[in-house]
Structure 1
């Protein structure tokens, strides 16, 4: 049994302790006073030089990995109602610990911690290296967090990584409080950064990073991607809050402690709006079925996980592996409900029936649009194949969820209407609609930038729940902003869909999540 606590973070209204299988209650933090003054330029980007002069053993070097809380840049944070385990940082934590370093994790995003609370944790832990992950809309929070860390101790080596940093590493490394930007997957890179910080090597010998030293930006060689994923340690879930803290989207599953996992990395399809290929490469790198089910068994037995979601697109990409995985889940008697994502061209009825027998409840399809020509343009699956996949999913007794996006460069008002109508023609149980965000590193970002249509590069605006960050050639921003809300109403305000979801409201927690979803959809 693994027991954990949030040391130093249970005072002043932050939260209560959490039992292994129980629930937890955390106070919503509305605001806090500023605690950091602007850093003088003389203090910027020098820790990576200084700490190398202070030789430390692996046993002595301390590492703290942090997810940034939402709203830190504007000094107003709170717990999000949707959150999942930060797998990327948990993988890095496991790799660092496996090499003998001391490591802690602080999921400040899911806990909704204020800057004061984070500063107190940094002061308590006294880390030598702090790693921070970042999606694009989180970058302003990462900058604020890095400033807080440097104010606590300017000798701390601050390392940033994640999708946004990989797409824009030189820009990321140029921030005054950032020492190192990690490009791509971080396990091996962070291990080598820690070894350099311990004085074993130099930072310039670490592949896959951009250094920000004394105002100069220096890139090292690209890192070769890890192909042996079965050799990667399981994510360090024991360093995270209890699974009961995390709240998945209602369609992902309910009825027990939730977790998420990945079955592989990379993707060969190169969709125009997706940055997975830039992050992880254009080919699948897969874990074995045995390795996947070993992790599921571990999550179930050690952490009481009852439901989980595969967060990668590759779980169904290799038929033989999927069938073996389903057989192993059944053989081991793992009573776990799960969901996954798939392209419509990668499933068939037999596979879906095997998934159902192994506990799968729902398959999510990235359908995106309902116009045949636009599907080709963005490199997605044909309408005919989508119809077949959704039909087979329902025949197998599984729920089917579809994701749709509005706002591709080639979009018109007619294609908007086609997408909504197509969503209703399909046998979907649920659907999600959003305005397409052209994240850095994607083909859509380059299209909009090259045509001079981007309205801002204020990254906090690059939010899937926000307004368009571009001027569309054919559709007004007002109409684009309204499109998801109108689509939600059109899809869900149908008697059959309403009745289907009412049957799923089997507990107060489920009802609460549905009400939150409805408020998000229709406001």
Structure 2
């Protein structure tokens, strides 16, 4: 029973992307243990597919990657069913959710081990130890229970990314046609997903990455990234790239080197960055990045209020003034800035919470005024357990508590929480939440996202026409006519559905 089943739970309807996280784990054991991949996004009945492997009696280890929200909702019942029907198997979870909520995960009784961060070494070493009946207490990046108490082993230094084994794309293709993972998006007809780095060198107190990577960042070289991308392009027909790094543009030199390499390939691409980092890039660098095919860059603007940015421990040098100036700067390079804002952070009184919301609504309109092409993504603040941060201490003092069980985590209310749409935070009143959502509806009516490739020009003009009067007059209440059109035309929101 030493074969390994790796499972990527379903994350969205009809959205197929190369399952990089689980493929990384496959690479770590490839050639040493036999493994299979089940991708919930590609299966009509994932449990049926998983059981078809387990029933052979050959699979003793299961590795699940679990993000909060839809993936957790699918991973939980399947993990429970496996433990009930195949109790001799060893269940191992990795991903942001188990790393940040280990107690709820391990108390469930369905999960035996958590990989706390990168599993390139931890996963194969754990399997080795279990196979040989050897101690695993000194394997780094593990969380598990002993005598009812949770044990965390020490964190491993981030590995040199170029030294890791190549991802087994061709073997993935034996389970699912690889072309299926190259979906049609705003970027291209055949868009590939790729991770070129892990972690982030900043410690924003609202970010789930911080507790896992602790301000560390490691990246593959530009040459290595180009080699991988070109392989998928030449063999499987990829014509666009989504870089799913938490922060792709940490290094100007690496970004420029990659841009020079990828430019002749005529591919379109997208990545995530910090405003205060890229604002230091030379004009020549930004020009080259755009010329190489970079069409849109996601930035965490978070707030135009400098006090809120300090409260979030945004780090760096970002200010409200810089956010507006940088949006205007990118216009001349024809790069679309995709700004995300986080509204609804705690304050000392309800009046101050409301004032902060109003401030950022007006600030977003100022950003749109200087660069109408700026994509705006609006989240409602949802706490993450960044231990020791002043913001999380404030959140706890306000009475916010996480669910204590996995079953509670997958309730409809908490699933919406994980999508940052239903905050469940005691300092936000229903009226405040309604104002945020209604403004978002009107804003998306006046400026429909360019990433919605199914929304044709006629529909865009129609929804803009009915929304503009509201937008100019600051009338956001009860935008039922806009919601009706958005529902009728299945308007998509990038923060929930991606590209």
Same fold (TM over 0.5): yes
Q: Quote the residue 1:67 is aligned against.
A: 8
Residues 273, 483 of structure 1: alpha-carbon distance in 2 compared, 3 angstrom cutoff: farther
Q: Quote the residue 1:334 is aligned against.
A: 265
Is the aligned partner of 1:430 residue 2:375?
yes
Deviation (angstroms), 1:515: 4.0
- The whole-number CA distance in structure 2 between the counterparts of 1:338 and 1:502 is 16
Is the aligned partner of 1:154 residue 2:87?
yes
Correspondences of 1:388-403 after superposition (within 5 Å): 388-403=325-340
Deviations 1:219-269 (A, max 9, x none): 25313223311111233334264455458796xx34322222222222222
Within the candidate set 94, 114, 123, 2:55 is matched to: 123
Deviations 1:283-304 (A, max 9, x none): 3222211111111112212332
Deviation (angstroms), 1:338: 0.5
Residues 520, 320 of structure 1: alpha-carbon distance in 2 compared, 3 angstrom cutoff: closer
Partner SS for 2:272? strand
- The whole-number CA distance in structure 2 between the counterparts of 1:148 and 1:94 is 27
Query: Would you say the 8 A contact 2:143–2:153 is kept in 1?
Result: no
Residues 519, 172 of structure 1: alpha-carbon distance in 2 compared, 3 angstrom cutoff: closer
Q: Quote the residue 2:135 is aligned against.
A: 202
Within the candidate set 293, 297, 313, 2:226 is matched to: 293
Partner SS for 1:379? coil
- The whole-number CA distance in structure 2 between the counterparts of 1:236 and 1:114 is 22
Q: Quote the residue 2:201 is aligned against.
A: 268
Deviations 1:47-66 (A, max 9, x none): xxxxxxxxx7xxxx311111
Q: Quote the residue 2:483 is aligned against.
A: none
Query: Could you tell me the TM-score, scaled by structure 1's length?
Result: 0.76
| Bigger mean CA deviation after superposition, 80-89 or 173-182 | 80-89
- The whole-number CA distance in structure 2 between the counterparts of 1:147 and 1:436 is 31
Deviation (angstroms), 1:376: 2.1
Query: Would you say the 8 A contact 2:182–2:192 is kept in 1?
Result: no
**Long gaps (5+) in structure 1:** 1-55, 71-78
Deviation (angstroms), 1:465: 4.8
Query: Could you tell me the TM-score, scaled by structure 2's length?
Result: 0.79
- The whole-number CA distance in structure 2 between the counterparts of 1:344 and 1:513 is 33
- The whole-number CA distance in structure 2 between the counterparts of 1:500 and 1:153 is 47
Query: Would you say the 8 A contact 1:405–1:433 is kept in 2?
Result: yes
Partner SS for 1:270? coil
Q: CA RMSD in A?
A: 3.3
- The whole-number CA distance in structure 2 between the counterparts of 1:480 and 1:455 is 21
Is the aligned partner of 1:407 residue 2:344?
yes
| Bigger mean CA deviation after superposition, 497-506 or 121-130 | 497-506
- The whole-number CA distance in structure 2 between the counterparts of 1:403 and 1:256 is 25
Is the aligned partner of 1:345 residue 2:345?
no
Query: Would you say the 8 A contact 1:189–1:207 is kept in 2?
Result: yes
- The whole-number CA distance in structure 2 between the counterparts of 1:223 and 1:177 is 24
Residues 232, 268 of structure 1: alpha-carbon distance in 2 compared, 3 angstrom cutoff: same
Deviation (angstroms), 1:205: 4.1
Correspondences of 1:81-160 after superposition (within 5 Å): 81-82=14-15, 84-97=17-30, 99-109=31-41, 111=43, 113-123=45-55, 126-137=58-69, 138-139=71-72, 141-160=74-93
Q: Quote the residue 2:212 is aligned against.
A: 279
Deviation (angstroms), 1:158: 0.8
Q: Quote the residue 2:442 is aligned against.
A: 490
Query: Would you say the 8 A contact 1:341–1:363 is kept in 2?
Result: yes
Is the aligned partner of 1:368 residue 2:284?
no
Residues 274, 456 of structure 1: alpha-carbon distance in 2 compared, 3 angstrom cutoff: same
Partner SS for 2:418? coil
Deviation (angstroms), 1:186: 1.2
Query: Would you say the 8 A contact 1:403–1:432 is kept in 2?
Result: yes
Partner SS for 2:55? helix
- The whole-number CA distance in structure 1 between the counterparts of 2:142 and 2:454 is 47
Query: Would you say the 8 A contact 1:454–1:471 is kept in 2?
Result: no
Q: Quote the residue 1:7 is aligned against.
A: none
Deviation (angstroms), 1:425: 1.8
Q: Quote the residue 2:311 is aligned against.
A: 377
Query: Would you say the 8 A contact 2:182–2:238 is kept in 1?
Result: no
Query: Would you say the 8 A contact 2:192–2:238 is kept in 1?
Result: yes
Deviation (angstroms), 1:446: 4.5
Q: Quote the residue 1:467 is aligned against.
A: 422
